[in-house]
Amino acid sequence: MPVSPKQARTLKHRSWVAFLIVPPVVFMSLFVVYPILSAFAYAFYEWQGLARGEFVGLENFREVLFGPTMAPVVWNAFLHNVYALVALMIIQNGGGFLLAWLLYKEPFGFRFHRLAVFVPVVLSTIIVGFLWKLFLNPNFGIVNQALYALGLDSWAKPWLGDSSTALGALILANAWHFIGFPTLVYLAGMQRIPSEIIEAARLDGTNEWQLLTNVIWPLVAPSTTILFTLLFIGAFNWFEIPYVMAGLDGSPFGSTDVLGLVFYRTAFGNQSASIQNFGQGSALATVIFLFIVVFASMLTLWLRRREIQF
């Protein structure tokens, strides 16, 4: 480095470096490190509203995971997060991979299709949620209107009011919102594959399907790793779409309840009626956090193993 040791030792130089480094570090310590460490600590206390009460050990964790009132709600919500994760892995990431592969060949209209697929990604989730809530309205939404127009009257449903279709509708709205992201990440991954590899495979007589499964898919493994890990984290933090489209209670009948909603209800529930429980909320946040960290790291390590260097 250009600064000589002698120079580095001068007070003037040191205070200049400190001037650069101290404010960002203090800011991060105050607004990130301190809250995250406190979040763990808070879970071990009883809370009366905003006031911290007695130390209760693991009581909050027991109540959240095994207690008669909280546990059924939490596990029901967890199951929905798992459904969302699996469905979005197939529709959003899998669909994104296929779209990327079609775009990779730079067909006619390449720039337009690439622009179009990313438009929903830049929109706020709140806008996306409300938009689809209006479109899925049983009487006046365009989804049912289109089905009537096509003579498929029997297919029309109160999509968000029927507990068998509500979660699926939320998942599809989420896939519409975000499919552009995996598409363009995969596209960038494919464009990094050296063209000699593709040409060599071509000369060996590989057909389109073999090229896709045996050459392209293994070579975009780094993109897969990061996309699946991000989706995993996103699926267990899922909040905005269910909140806007199905409400804070995950209606109808808890069929769209997810951990994010349970956490929000537990921690901030109903601020005016003060049935908020910061202790159980913190315990739930800690459990979700540990779950994400442990499984996301395992997932990342497992997916990394199948990456190939080139």
Partner 1 sequence: MTTKAMYSPAPPRPISFAFLAQIILIMNSFIMLYPVVVMVFSAFKSTGEIFEHPFALPDFTQVQNFTRVLGETSMPTYFVNSIIVTGTSIVLILVLGTMAGYAVARYESRTNTFILLFFLAGLMLPLKLAVIPLFILLRDLNLLDSRWSLIVTYTAIGLPSAVFIMAGFLRSLPSELEDAARIDGASEPRIMWSVMLPLARPPMAIAAIQNAVPIWNDFFFPLVFIQTDDYKTLPQGLTTFMGEYTTDWGMLFAGLTIAAAPITLLYIALSRQFIQGMTAGAVK
Distance CA 183, CA 70 (A): 39
Nearer to partner 1, 146 or 301 (CB): 146
Distance in Å, CB of 148 to partner 1, minimum: 10
Rounded to the nearest angstrom, the gap between the alpha carbon of residue 82 and the centroid of all alpha carbons in its chain is 12
Give the x/- contact pattern for partner 1 in 82-101, rule: CB under 8 A: -----------------x--
- Residues numbered 5 to 64 that lie near partner 1 (CB under 8 A) are 8, 13, 16-17, 19-21, 23-25, 27-28, 30-36, 38-39, 42, 50
Q: Which residue, 44, 268, 36, is CA-closest to 260?
A: 268
Give the whole-angstrom CA distance, residue 166 versus residue 191. Answer: 38
List binders of partner 1 among 101-160 (CB under 8 A). Answer: 102-103, 105-109, 112-127, 130-132, 134-135, 139-140, 142, 145-146, 149
Contacts to partner 1 from residues 62-81, by CB under 8 A: none
Residue that has been written with the tokens 């790793």 in this structure: 225
Closest to partner 1 by CB, 73 vs 136, is 136
- Name the minimum Å distance from CB 229 to partner 1: 9
User: Residue 277 corresponds to which tokens in the numbers above?
Assistant: 């429980």
DSSP line for 193-223: S-HHHHHHHHHTT--HHHIIIIIIHHHTHHH
Q: At what angle do helices 278-305 and 59-66 cross, to 10 degrees?
A: 70
Q: Is 281 in the site for partner 1 (CB under 8 A)?
A: yes
Distance CA 128, CA 247 (A): 15
Piece of the chain touching partner 1 by CB under 8 A; list 64-72, 74-82, 150-158, 286-294: 286-294
Backbone angles phi, psi at 152, to 5 degrees: -100, 45
Q: Select 255 or 277, whichever has its Cβ closest to partner 1.
A: 277
Among 199, 275, 301, 304, binds partner 1 (CB under 8 A): 199
Angle (nearest 5°) at CA 176 between 173 and 177: 90
Kindly identify the residues of this chain, within the stretch 205-264, that bind partner 1 according to CB under 8 A: 208, 222-223, 226-227, 230, 233, 237, 239-240, 243-244, 263
SS percent in the chain: helix, strand, coil, step 5: 70, 5, 25
From the list 90, 188, 294, 301, which residue makes contact with partner 1 (rule: CB under 8 A)? Answer: 188
Nearer to partner 1, 13 or 164 (CB): 13
